[in-house]
Amino acid sequence: MASLLQPDRVLYLVHGEKKIRSPLSTLYFCRYCSELRSLECVSHEVDSHYCPSCLENMPSAEAKLKKNRCANCFDCPCCMHTLSTRATNIPAPLPDDPSKTTMKKAYYLACGFCRWTSRDVGMADKSVASGGWQEPDNPHTQRINKLIEYYQQLAQREKLERDRKKLARRRPYMPLAFSQHTIHVVEKYGLGTRLQRQRPGAPITSLAGLSLKEGEDQKEINIEPAQALDEVEPLPEDCYTRPINLPEVTSLRQRLLQPDFQPAGASQLHPKHKHLLIKRSLRCRKCEHNLSKPEFNPTSIKFKIQLVAVSYIPEVRIMSIPNLRFQKECQVLLTLTNPVENITHVTLVGCEEGDPEDINSTAKVMVPTKELVLAGKDAAADYDELAEPQDFQDDPDVVAFRKSNKIGFFIKVVPQREEDGDVTVSFKIRHDFRNLAAPIRPSEEGDAPTEAIWLTHHVELSLGPIIA
């Protein structure tokens, strides 16, 4: 049953600022802290920008200048698919001899999904394949730019005053209170607001950038305030009686994707440049090590650093569930997979009464008391036919089967509640972990190169409804 393999059936608990329960495939493992991390307890950083259709990399400064849009690719304003450039041959008069006509190539944009073309909005065909298409100008651009400059200057001034006051008083540590205006200024000079919060001891690098700006003459920018008008344009007279031409009316989504114009008619929908996507890297907040760092090349899906939980923590999966009955003991078959190459010893412990982490379970569970031994993951096992099968003494009541680095074992479940809803059980899994990331000590002692530490995780399983 493929539904038993659904990832959200087996949840691991992550101890962070918030207690998060999520499947192992979505978690990361910081091997310096030896703890599980979820997406909410790591900091996300932008690594690089790239266009999803032409896969062109763009440095961050250029991306910011172009407002995070690709220069070559366009989105269909009707269905948001990527537009492709098509060519037609049109007869055009020769420049030397107007009476003769020759075939010239004309290019237009077309959408393969909804069959929108650039000719629908009246955009003329261009004679170059790329680079000829311009977005229409926003009539309010000048005013908006002026306003932005004015507020940036204001924010700088405010921040300078605040920091000057702070340095003068010399308080040891004060959380930087950000006003709405100062946030974008900090981003320009600093590393990002969240990281700055996490580094209490770091010097205020933002000031360094600001001091340079002080040297330049500061131009006073004055803006005229917006004027309120008393009279509003009246609605057209046939507003209520005019029949609506439905294909011409734009949908809300089409309208709001062009916030500059928000056209109400489909014949004013111009294509916009395609939005860039980012590659992000993840960093553990406690030890500042990178947990995930993708490759720079947009065409590559590999990672330079990939500390995902499934390659360090043994994974529990549900294999088969019998009919669950209220207050009757049922035997559920689970599998444990060992992702590392050395032998792992796993002990399962049921949750005690009053365990603060055990909030969701609706059934009592009896886990095998003996220690389970998992063989190491052998990458060459498929090809090596002469490998001796390792001999583990398995108790047939506990261990159902054993296959290379996987083991199937039984647990006994007694559903305690007769209500509708899934039967949930939880237990703790304790396994040994050899930290290969620890610095290699100079070999004075004849110790094993790496010592094992024991990690405990809280696991919750969702077994499905009770069948009466």
Using the rule CB under 8 A, is 438 a contact of another protein? no
Using the rule CB under 8 A, is 409 a contact of another protein? no
Using the rule CB under 8 A, is 5 a contact of another protein? no
Nearer to another protein, 39 or 79 (CB): 79
Contact region for another protein (CB under 8 A) — 113-121, 195-203, 217-225, 292-300? 113-121
Task: Tell me how far, at minimum, the Cβ of 102 lies from another protein, in Å.
Answer: 21
User: Can you tell me which residue has the tokens 């190491």?
Assistant: 376
Contact region for another protein (CB under 8 A) — 66-74, 112-120, 146-154, 301-309? 112-120
Structure tokens at 433: 């972990």
**Rounded-to-integer distance, Cα 158 and Cα 280, Å:** 32
User: Can you tell me which residue has the tokens 């590559």?
Assistant: 300
Nearer to another protein, 123 or 455 (CB): 123
Among 116, 409, 427, 433, the residue binding another protein under the rule CB under 8 A is 116
Q: How far is CA 145 from the centre of its chain?
A: 31
Using the rule CB under 8 A, is 113 a contact of another protein? yes
User: Can you tell me which residue has the tokens 């900091």?
Assistant: 43
Using the rule CB under 8 A, is 91 a contact of another protein? no
Using the rule CB under 8 A, is 76 a contact of another protein? no
Using the rule CB under 8 A, is 79 a contact of another protein? yes
Size of the site for another protein (CB under 8 A): 11
Which residues on neighbouring strands pair with residue 46, listed in sequence order? 280
Contact region for another protein (CB under 8 A) — 96-104, 107-115, 364-372, 443-451? 107-115
The two beta strands, 422-434 and 363-366, are unpaired
Nearer to another protein, 115 or 143 (CB): 115
Which letter does DSSP use for residue 33 in this model? T
Nearer to another protein, 116 or 427 (CB): 116
**Rounded-to-integer distance, Cα 29 and Cα 44, Å:** 15
Residue 147 phi, psi (nearest 5): -60, -40
Using the rule CB under 8 A, is 117 a contact of another protein? yes
Using the rule CB under 8 A, is 92 a contact of another protein? no
Task: Tell me how far, at minimum, the Cβ of 283 lies from another protein, in Å.
Answer: 38
**Rounded-to-integer distance, Cα 63 and Cα 186, Å:** 18
Distances (CA, A) of 223 to 153, 218, 257, 436: 12, 15, 29, 61
Task: Tell me how far, at minimum, the Cβ of 69 lies from another protein, in Å.
Answer: 24
Task: Tell me how far, at minimum, the Cβ of 257 lies from another protein, in Å.
Answer: 15
Number of Cβ atoms within 10 Å of the Cβ of 100: 9
Structure tokens at 126: 């261009």
Task: Tell me how far, at minimum, the Cβ of 117 lies from another protein, in Å.
Answer: 7
User: Can you tell me which residue has the tokens 């095998």?
Assistant: 368
Nearer to another protein, 115 or 140 (CB): 115
Using the rule CB under 8 A, is 78 a contact of another protein? yes
Task: Tell me how far, at minimum, the Cβ of 60 lies from another protein, in Å.
Answer: 35
Which residues on neighbouring strands pair with residue 108, listed in sequence order? 86
Using the rule CB under 8 A, is 90 a contact of another protein? no
Contact region for another protein (CB under 8 A) — 116-124, 161-169, 186-194, 384-392? 116-124
Structure tokens at 464: 């499905």
Give the list of residues 6+ apart from residue 219 with CB closer than 8 angstroms, or none.
Answer: none
Q: Which residues of 15-35 are buried (b: 16+ CB within 10 A; e: fewer)?
A: ebeeebbbbbebbbbbbeeeb
Residues numbered 220 to 239 that lie near another protein (CB under 8 A) are: none
Nearer to another protein, 39 or 123 (CB): 123
Q: Output the furthest CA–CA distance in the chain (Å, rounded).
A: 96
Among 33, 87, 90, 114, the residue binding another protein under the rule CB under 8 A is 114
Contact region for another protein (CB under 8 A) — 115-123, 183-191, 339-347, 412-420? 115-123
Structure tokens at 203: 């010097």
Nearer to another protein, 78 or 109 (CB): 78
Using the rule CB under 8 A, is 290 a contact of another protein? no
Using the rule CB under 8 A, is 247 a contact of another protein? yes
Helix (H, G, I), strand (E, B) or coil at 7: helix
Using the rule CB under 8 A, is 266 a contact of another protein? yes
Among 44, 52, 69, 120, the residue binding another protein under the rule CB under 8 A is 120
Q: How far is CA 182 from the centre of its chain?
A: 26
**Rounded-to-integer distance, Cα 216 and Cα 193, Å:** 26
Nearer to another protein, 73 or 78 (CB): 78
Please give the angle made by the CA atoms of 294, 295 and 299, to the nearest 5 degrees: 115
Residues 18, 265 contacting (CB under 8 angstroms):
no
Q: Name the H helices within 277-417.
A: none
Task: Tell me how far, at minimum, the Cβ of 129 lies from another protein, in Å.
Answer: 20
Burial, 274: exposed, middle or buried (Cβ in 10 Å; 0-12, 13-18, 19+)? Answer: buried
Which residues make up the interface to another protein (CB under 8 A)?
A: 78-79, 113-117, 119-120, 247, 266
